[in-house]
C-alpha cells in the first residue's frame, strides 16, 4: 500500500514536471490597467488613480510653479500636461508615476490643452500666442508653431485630423464672439486641405470636446463663466461642419465626456453633472436638473460606464478635491480624494510593459 502510494506520487510528480516543462513560456500579458488621471491645478500635480483600486492613487508633482494647468491628454503609458503660465508641458510616465521630461514651450504660451496624435507626437495649444505647437513627447523636441484661431484652449484628434478649439477670448479673457474650430493635418503640420475652419454657434469660449459613440464631435461653447448660457455644438469631423447646436445647460457648462454609446456628460460649477443623449438629441439632465456635485469642474467615464464627477473643492488652503463615482444609473457608489483643485480629467488604459 505504501509502495503503491509512493509510486502514485512519483507519477504525479512526473506528470507535473512534464506539464510545467512543456508549458508555453510566452504567457499572455495581464490586462491593461485603467486609471483616472486628474490634473490638480493649484497643487500643480497629476493624480493617477487606478479605477479598480482608488486607494492606490499617487500624486505626481509636475514641477510647475503656477496654479494654471487645467488639462491632460494620455495615450498608453504616457500623459501630457500643459503647465499653463509656466509655458511648458510635462510628459509623465504613468507606469513609474514620474515626470519624464519638461518640454519648454514658447514664451507667454500659457499652454492649456493638448492631444496625443500617435505614439510620439502631441499637439499643445498656446492660447496667448494663438498658435499650437507640435511636440515629440518621447524626445522633447518641438516644431515650429502653427497659427490657428483666437485663444486656442483645447485640441481634439479624430478621423486623422487635429481640431483646435478657438475660445475667441479678448484681452480681458471674456468671450469676444462665437468660437470656431481650426482643422490641422498632422501629416503636414499645417491647416488641413479643404475646410480648415468650422464656425460654431453660441457665445464662444469653446474649451471642451469629446468624440461620442456616433463618431461626431461634441463641443461645449461655455460662453461667459458668470452669465449667459452655454451651448453644445455637434460637429461632423468628416464634412467639417456644425450639424446641430443645443442649449439647456445653464451658465458655465464645461467639461464634456462621452459615455461610449449615446450618453454625453457635461460638468458645471453651477448645475452639477448634466447629460445629453446623442440618439434623441435631447438634454436628459439639463439646467436645474443636474446631479448635485458641488464645484463640478470636470467629468470622465471609464470602460465600465462608471462616471467620475470631479469636485474641485475651494482650490485653496490645502483642501483637496474629490472624485464622485457614479454608476450607470448616476447613483453615487463611492468617492475618493484627489489633489488640490482637480480641474481636468481623463481615463486611460495603461498597457503592461
Where along the sequence are the contacts to other proteins (CB under 8 A)? 40-45, 59, 61-68, 83, 85-88, 102, 104, 107-108, 110, 128, 171-173, 225-226, 269, 295, 297, 312-320, 339-341
As measured in angstroms, the least distance from the Cβ of 299 to other proteins is: 15
Backbone angles phi, psi at 186, to 5 degrees: -65, -20
Shortest separation between residue 12's beta carbon and other proteins, angstroms = 55
Minimum CB distance to other proteins, residue 88 (Å): 5
| Grid cell for residue 107 | 514664451
**Beta-ladder partners of 238:** none
Angle, vertex CA 109, rays to CA 314 and CA 341, nearest 5: 15
Contacts by 277-280, CB closer than 8 A, 24 or more apart: 278/212, 278/213, 278/214, 278/216, 278/218, 278/234
Q: How far apart are CA 199 and CA 245, in angstroms?
A: 11
Termini Cα distance of the chain = 51
Comparing CB distances to other proteins, the nearer of 93 and 214 is 93
Query: Is 281 or 319 the residue whose CB approaches other proteins more closely?
Result: 319
Grid coordinates in use for 206?
A: 469653446
Quick one: 258 or 295, whose CB is closer to other proteins? 295
Kindly state the helix (H) or strand (E) to which residue 2 belongs, with its residue range: helix 2-21
For residue 138, the minimal CB distance to other proteins (Å) is 17
- Nearer to other proteins (CB atom), residue 32 or residue 337: 337
**How many Å apart are CA 88 and CA 261, to the nearest integer?**
35
CB closer to other proteins out of 64 and 309: 64
CB of 62 to other proteins, least distance (A): 7
Shortest CA distance to 155 belongs to which of 70, 73, 260, 244? 73
Closer to other proteins by CB, 186 or 339: give it.
339
In whole angstroms, the minimum distance from the beta carbon of 90 to other proteins comes to 8
Amino acid at each position: 500500500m505504501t509502495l503503491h502510494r509512493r509510486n502514485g506520487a512519483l507519477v504525479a510528480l512526473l506528470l507535473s514536471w512534464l506539464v510545467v516543462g512543456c508549458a508555453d513560456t510566452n504567457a499572455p500579458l495581464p490586462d491593461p490597467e485603467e486609471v483616472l488621471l486628474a490634473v490638480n491645478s493649484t497643487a500643480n500635480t497629476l493624480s493617477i488613480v487606478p479605477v479598480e483600486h482608488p486607494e492606490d492613487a499617487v500624486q505626481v508633482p509636475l514641477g510647475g510653479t503656477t496654479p494654471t494647468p487645467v488639462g491632460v491628454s494620455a495615450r498608453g503609458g504616457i500623459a501630457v500636461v500643459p503647465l499653463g503660465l509656466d509655458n511648458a508641458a510635462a510628459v509623465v510616465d504613468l507606469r513609474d508615476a514620474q515626470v519624464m521630461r519638461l518640454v519648454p514651450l514658447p514664451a507667454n504660451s500659457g499652454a492649456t490643452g493638448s492631444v496625443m496624435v500617435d505614439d510620439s507626437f502631441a499637439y499643445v495649444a498656446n492660447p496667448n500666442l494663438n498658435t499650437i505647437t507640435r511636440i515629440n513627447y518621447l524626445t522633447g523636441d518641438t516644431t515650429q508653431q502653427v497659427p490657428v484661431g483666437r485663444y486656442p484652449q483645447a485640441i481634439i484628434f479624430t478621423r486623422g485630423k487635429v481640431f483646435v478649439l478657438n475660445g475667441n477670448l479678448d484681452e480681458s479673457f471674456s468671450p469676444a464672439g462665437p468660437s470656431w474650430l481650426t482643422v490641422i493635418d498632422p501629416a503636414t503640420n499645417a491647416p488641413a486641405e479643404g475646410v480648415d475652419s468650422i464656425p460654431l454657434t453660441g457665445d464662444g469660449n469653446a474649451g471642451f470636446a469629446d468624440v461620442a459613440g456616433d463618431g461626431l464631435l461634441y463641443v461645449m461653447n461655455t460662453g461667459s463663466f458668470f452669465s449667459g448660457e452655454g451651448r453644445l455644438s455637434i460637429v461632423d469631423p468628416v464634412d467639417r461642419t456644425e450639424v446641430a447646436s443645443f442649449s439647456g445647460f445653464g451658465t458655465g457648462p464645461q467639461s464634456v465626456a462621452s459615455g461610449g454609446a449615446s450618453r454625453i456628460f457635461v460638468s458645471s460649477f453651477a448645475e452639477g453633472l448634466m447629460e445629453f443623449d446623442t440618439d434623441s438629441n435631447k438634454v436628459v439632465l439639463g439646467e436645474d436638473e443636474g446631479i448635485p456635485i458641488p464645484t463640478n469642474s470636470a467629468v470622465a467615464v471609464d470602460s465600465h460606464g462608471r462616471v467620475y464627477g470631479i469636485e474641485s473643492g475651494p482650490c485653496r488652503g490645502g483642501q483637496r478635491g474629490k472624485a464622485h463615482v457614479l454608476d450607470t444609473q448616476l447613483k453615487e457608489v463611492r468617492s475618493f480624494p484627489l489633489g488640490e483643485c482637480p480641474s481636468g480629467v481623463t481615463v486611460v488604459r495603461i498597457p503592461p510593459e
